[in-house]
Chains A and B, each alone.
Chain A
Amino acid sequence: MTLDKNQIKAVIAKRVAQELHDGDLVNLGIGLPTMVANFIPEGVDVTFQSENGLVGLGPAPEEGKEEKDLTNAGGQPVTLLPGGAYFDSATSFGIIRGGHVDYTVLGALQVDQLGNLANWKIPGKMVPGMGGAMDLTVGARHVIISMVHTQKGAPKILKECTLPLTAKNQVNLIVTEMAVIEVTDKGLVLKELGPDVTVEDVKAATEADLIIPENIGSFGL
C-alpha cells in the first residue's frame, strides 16, 4: 500500500492523537501537528492551548463566521469553546514554561538519538525564527515530534543533529508514517511500525541507532 501525502499526514496525526488522555492540556504546532485535533478519540476530553493567548481552542470557524481578533498562533481564524479563556503573552508562556502543558506536538527538520530537536533555522537558507518552539520544548511535560520520516529520501532522525538546535534532550516520542520511536536514556526504541512497514524499512530510512525490542506494535490508517 502506498500512501499519498494526505494519507501520510492523517496516519501520523491519528497516531499522535492516541497519546493524549482525558484532562490533558495540549499545544499543537503549526502544520501537521494542527491536524492532531481532528483525530482525538471519542470520549477523550483534551484542552488545547494556543500560545498567542488562549485555552479552549475549538474547531475552525464556518466560512464567513471568522472573527478578526480570534486567531491561533499561525494567525489563522479559530473558535473558542464554551469555558475557554484568553490571556496575555507573559501568562501564556508562564503556562508553557511553568510545566502546565502536558503535551506539545511539533514538527522537526531534524531530531536525534539524544532527544535533541532542530526546527527553527537552516543557516543561509531559511531562518523563520523559533517563535514559541524553544519555550514549548523546554516547558511541556512531554514533547512529541510528528513528521514525515525522511526529507526527499534523506533521514531526519539522526545520530546527532547538524542544524542549530531548538532544544537539548527534550524530545520524548517521535511519530512518523513509518514508526513510533521512543527516546529513552539508552537510546531510540522502535515501539511500533506503520502500515506495511518492516523493521528493515525503518532502519534504512533512519540514520540514528535503533533499539529493536522483541515485541513491536503496529498502527494504521
Chain B
Amino acid sequence: MFNLEKIITIDEAVDKIKDGMTIMVGGFLGCGSPENIIDKLVEKNVKDLTLICNDTGFPELGVGKMVVNKQFKKMMVSHIGTNRETGRQMNEGEAEVDLIPQGTLAEQIRCGGCGLGGFFTPTGVGTEVEDDKEKKVIDGVTYIYEAPLKADVAIIKGVKVDKKGNVYYNQTARNFNPLMAMAANLVIVEAEEIVEPGELDPNCIGTPHIFVNYIVGGEK
C-alpha cells in the first residue's frame, strides 16, 4: 500500500527523518544527490544517523556537508578520499566508518530491495574485506558471503518526477538512486521538476512510482 498524496514541503520531509535512523543517500561524489534535502538536514541537525552511500562526498557538496556537521555515528561507504573530515572522525574515534567495495555495496542494497538474503562475491577474497565472512567455493572459485542492506529512509534525486512519483533520472546522476528507492521503508525523492502523470515516457522511467512515498521540490 502506498500513499496517494505525495508532494510535501521540504520541512515536512525532513521532519520524517529522526535521530538514530539508518539513511540511504543517492549520488556519486555529489552527482545525483538530493542537495536541498541534505541542506535542510544540516539545518535541522538530525543526529546519530547511520549513513549508507557510495561515498562521503566533498566537504561542501553532497552528503559531505552532513559529515562536516557531525550527523553520522556510522558511515557505510566505498570511498572517503574526497572528504578529509570523514578520515579525521574515523581516526579520532568520533564516528565508525565501514569501507565496502563499491560493487558489493550496490549489490547489498539491490538485494535489500529485492527480498534476497544476500549473495556470494569474489570481490575482497584474500583481503581484509573477507574477515569474519562465510566463504564458499563454487566451481573452483572462492566467494565470500555479503548480507543485504536496508534502511529506515532513502533520500534520492530525480531530474523529473511526476505527481504519482515516477522518477526519470538524468545521465550519470542515476547511480545508486534506483537501488535505494527499493531498499528503504520510507523513500523521499527530490525532484528538479515535478510534472503531470503521463508526461514522462513510461518506457524511460527509472523508478516506478510504487517505490516513492514522498516528493519534494520543483525548485531547480
Contact = CB atoms under 8 A, between A and B. Distances in A.
A68 interface: yes
A96 to B, nearest CB: 6
A95 to B, nearest CB: 10
Given A53-B172, A89-B175, A69 B78 contact: no
Contacts of A124: 91
Nearest to B108: A90
Contact of B103 (A75, A80, A97, A116): A97
Interface in A47-71: 50-54, 67-71
A154 interface: no
A97 B178 contact: no
A130 interface: yes
Nearest to B102: A132
Contacts of A67: 171
B172 A71 contact: yes
Interface stretch (A15-23, A133-141, A196-204, A209-217): A133-141
B161 interface: no
Given A53-B28, A96-B103, A127-B87, A166 B179 contact: no
B37 interface: no
A70 B31 CA distance: 8
A89 B31 contact: no
Interface residues of B, number: 48
Contacts, number: 141
A165 B123 CA distance: 12
Nearest to B56: A129
A138 B128 CA distance: 15
A131 to B, nearest CB: 4
Contacts of B106: 88-90, 92-93
Contacts of A54: 171-172
Nearest to A135: B103
A158 interface: no
A86 interface: yes
Contact of A80 (B58, B78, B159, B171): B171
Given A138-B123, A138-B125, A168-B127, A132 B78 contact: yes
Contacts of A73: 28
A208 interface: no
Contacts of B91: 124
B79 to A, nearest CB: 4
A124 B90 CA distance: 10
B36 interface: no
B80 interface: yes
B127 A89 contact: no
A46 interface: no
Interface string A122-165: 00101111111111001100000000000000000000000011
B79 A128 contact: yes
A11 to B, nearest CB: 26
A75 B29 contact: yes
Contact of B124 (A53, A90, A134): A134
Contacts of B58: 75
